[in-house]
Amino acid sequence: MKIISVSNLNGYIKEKLDSDFLLSNVWVRGEISNFKHHSSGHMYFTLKDKTGAVKAVMFRSRNNSLFFEPKEGMAVIAKGYVSVYERDGMYQLYVEEMHQQGVGTLHVAYLQLKEKLEKEGLFDPQRKRPLPRFPQRIGVVTSQTGAAVRDIVTVIHRRYPQAHIILFPVAVQGDEAPGQICEGIRLANEMTNLDVLIVGRGGGSIEELWAFNTEVVARSIFASTVPVVSAVGHETDFTIADFVADMRAPTPSAAAEIVVPDFREIQKNIDMLEQRMILGLKNLIYTSREKLNSLTGSPVMKRPQDKIYRMMQDLDQVTRRMAQAAKLNLTGKKSCLALQVSRLDDLSPLATMKRGYSICRDPGGRVVNSVNGVRPGDTVEVIVTDGSADCVVKNIKEGAYGRR
């Protein structure tokens, strides 16, 4: 016999419930009782019918998106998953989405289809296309006898009369409506020059609007190559077609206002731009004329040769200054050269010879600067300032100046 703890038992049961596919995404219809909106923002209540009840909780992150305020005794349809609150060993419904119950099976079908198509990406904002700014050909898929088509035509003709409207008449309620709406969208897409498509009808009950909550119509809108504006019912009515379309209009009249601009506003903007251009050109002409008058009145424009003469005089002055500078520079160079020549002359052997000295060279032409360089009887050349003399060495005397 295996004995387990209470916690292990509750954990085991929780694991079983969490792994059940049906209980992971379930819709439950019931009446609210024991409702408590906790200070944390979470909602705790019981869903019950005639023979049963289940505990439920809807956390704040989920109930912030509710479009109504839950109250005691209110009939609702709740979507969520079943799991175990392990601390108390109690299973309960964790509500993720909740709606007031009022239309029975149709509303449930609407919510289930909406969830399915949303998961498939049919509502993805990234795939929605922008509407053309100035459409020329506008398709309308609606009943040819309803008020919707009259409203659409009236508004478009009033706002943008140059647009061409092509009506694709279809039934908008009843068993044949979904098929005819799909066919109208298909025919509209075969017209390659259509700029935008309005799909919709006037207001009504959920049963009357149901054709626009069908999967075939939703997929036809999704497959359209022409941008689609949905215009179903009144402002508070939301259909599956609204979520799939490239843009939702709250009413057919609003759809007409969305798809076309107001030509009167366009004309007003054009007139304003025209006035701005005229004013801008006038200012430009005035500024240019003032600039021209200023230029023509300037001395340069009256006597343009004056500047040339002034530049010629400036050139003459520069030339004279250059010549003076060159002359002064040459004089300085000459003085410097004379000084250097004088210094060289002082160092010259000739200047020394003029002071009474001579140069003695042996027969080989070498200067004799020592008595050891000659012998008695040698012939030497003695050079003085005005010539030279060949002499014979008679005696050699050593010592300074030949003194012994």
Q: Which of 177, 155, 11, 4 is nearest to 83 (CA)?
A: 11
Q: Looking at the chain, which residues constitute the CATH 3.40.50.10550 domain(s)?
A: 135-261
* Number of Cβ within a 10 Å radius of residue 99: 18
The per-residue DSSP string of 230-276 comes to EEESSTT---HHHHHSSEE-SSHHHHHHHHS--HHHHHHHHHHHHHH
Angle between helices 177-190 and 215-223 (to 10 degrees): 10
How far is the C-alpha of 165 from the C-alpha of 185, rounded, in Å? 15
**Residue 105: what pLDDT?**
65
Q: How far apart are CA 203 and CA 249, in angstroms?
A: 13
Give the model's pLDDT for residue 365: 81
Per-residue tokens: 107: 């509303």
Residue whose structure tokens are 């005229």: 278
Question: Distance between CA 266 and CA 239 in Å, rounded?
Answer: 33
Distances (CA, A) of 8 to 14, 17, 55, 60, 83: 10, 14, 22, 29, 15
135-261 maps to CATH 3.40.50.10550: yes
pLDDT tens per residue, the chain (404 residues)?
A: 788 888 888 888 888 888 888 888 999 999 999 999 999 999 999 999 989 999 999 999 999 878 778 888 888 899 999 999 988 889 999 999 888 876 556 777 888 899 899 999 999 999 999 999 999 999 999 999 989 999 999 999 999 999 999 999 999 999 899 999 999 999 999 987 899 999 999 988 778 899 999 999 999 999 999 999 999 988 777 899 999 999 999 999 999 999 999 999 988 999 999 999 999 999 999 999 888 888 777 776 777 777 787 888 888 889 999 989 999 999 888 889 888 888 877 777 777 777 778 888 888 888 888 888 888 888 888 888 788 888 988 888 877 555 54
Backbone angles phi, psi at 332, to 5 degrees: -65, -40
Q: What architecture (CATH level 2) is domain 6-102? A: Beta Barrel (2.40)
Q: Confirm whether pTM is higher than 0.75.
A: no
Looking at the chain, the domain(s) classified CATH 2.40.50.140 span 6-102
Q: In what order do the strands lie in the sheet with 228-232?
A: 164-169, 137-142, 196-201, 228-232, 247-248
Q: Which residue has the tokens 């060279």?
A: 361
